[in-house]
Structure 1
Amino acid sequence: MIQDGRILAPLDVAAFDETVYRELLAGPEATAQELAERLGCGSDRLVRALDRLRARGLVSRLSGRPRRYAAAEPDIALDALIREREQDLTRLRTAAAEMAVLYRRERVGQAGAVELVTGRDEVARRFLRLQHTVRRDMRMLDRPPYALAATNPVEPGALQRGVRWRAVYAPEALEQPGALQEIHALVAQGEQARVASGIPVKLAIADADAALVSVQLEQATTEAALVHPSALLDALVQLFEFIWAAAAPLAATTRTSPLTEDDRRLLDLLLAGMKDDAIARHLGLSTRTMRRRMKNLLDLLGADNRFQAGAQAVRRGWL
Structure 2
Amino acid sequence: MVQDGRILAPLDVTAFDETAYRELLAGPESTVQELALRLGCGPDRLVRALDRLRARGLVSRLSGRPRRYAAAEPDVALDALIRDQEQDLARLRRAATEMAVLFRRERAGHAGAVEMVTGRDEVARRFMRLQHGVRRDMRMLDRPPYALDTTNPVEPTALQRGVRWRAVYAPESLALPSALDEIHALEALGEQARVAAGIPVKLAIADADAALVSVQLEQAGTEAVLVHPSALLDAFIQFFEFTWERAAPLGGSPESPLAKDDRRLLALLLAGLKDDAIARQLGMSTRTMRRRMKHLLDLLGADNRFQAGVQATRRGWL
In the superposition, the TM-score normalised over structure 2's length comes to: 0.62
- Work out whether residues 170 and 272 of structure 1, in 8 Å CA contact, stay in contact via their aligned partners in 2: no
Distance 1:110 1:209, change over 3 A: same
Match of 1:282 in 2: 281
**3-state secondary structure, aligned to 2:145:** coil
- Work out whether residues 120 and 148 of structure 1, in 8 Å CA contact, stay in contact via their aligned partners in 2: no
- Work out whether residues 194 and 244 of structure 1, in 8 Å CA contact, stay in contact via their aligned partners in 2: yes
Q: What whole-Å deviation, never above 9, does each CA across 1:39-74 have from its counterpart, x for those lacking one?
A: xxxxxxxxxxxxxxxxxxxxxxxxxxxxxxxxxxxx
Percent of aligned pairs sharing the same letter? 82
Structure 1 Cα separation of the partners of residues 168 and 289 of structure 2: 25
Higher relative contact order (CA 8 A, sep 6+): 2
- Work out whether residues 139 and 204 of structure 1, in 8 Å CA contact, stay in contact via their aligned partners in 2: yes
Structure 1 Cα separation of the partners of residues 169 and 220 of structure 2: 22
Match of 1:140 in 2: 140
How many pairs align? 211
Q: What whole-Å deviation, never above 9, does each CA across 1:95-134 have from its counterpart, x for those lacking one?
A: xxxxxxxxxxxxx997231111111111110000000111
Q: CA RMSD in A?
A: 2.1
Partner amino acid, structure 2, of 1:224 = A
Displacement of 1:251: 1.7
Structure 1 Cα separation of the partners of residues 263 and 176 of structure 2: 17
Structure 1 Cα separation of the partners of residues 110 and 245 of structure 2: 36
Distance 1:314 1:156, change over 3 A: farther
Match of 1:215 in 2: 215
Match of 1:235 in 2: 235
Match of 2:199 in 1: 199
Displacement of 1:200: 0.8
Displacement of 1:253: 4.8
Partner amino acid, structure 2, of 1:318 = W
**3-state secondary structure, aligned to 2:261:** helix
Match of 1:262 in 2: 261
Distance 1:316 1:220, change over 3 A: closer
Distance 1:220 1:176, change over 3 A: closer
Moved more, 214-223 or 159-168: 214-223
Q: What whole-Å deviation, never above 9, does each CA across 1:206-237 have from its counterpart, x for those lacking one?
A: 10111001101123672111111111111111
Match of 1:117 in 2: 117
Displacement of 1:271: 2.0
**3-state secondary structure, aligned to 1:115:** strand
In structure 1, list runs of 5 or more residues that go unmatched. Answer: 1-107
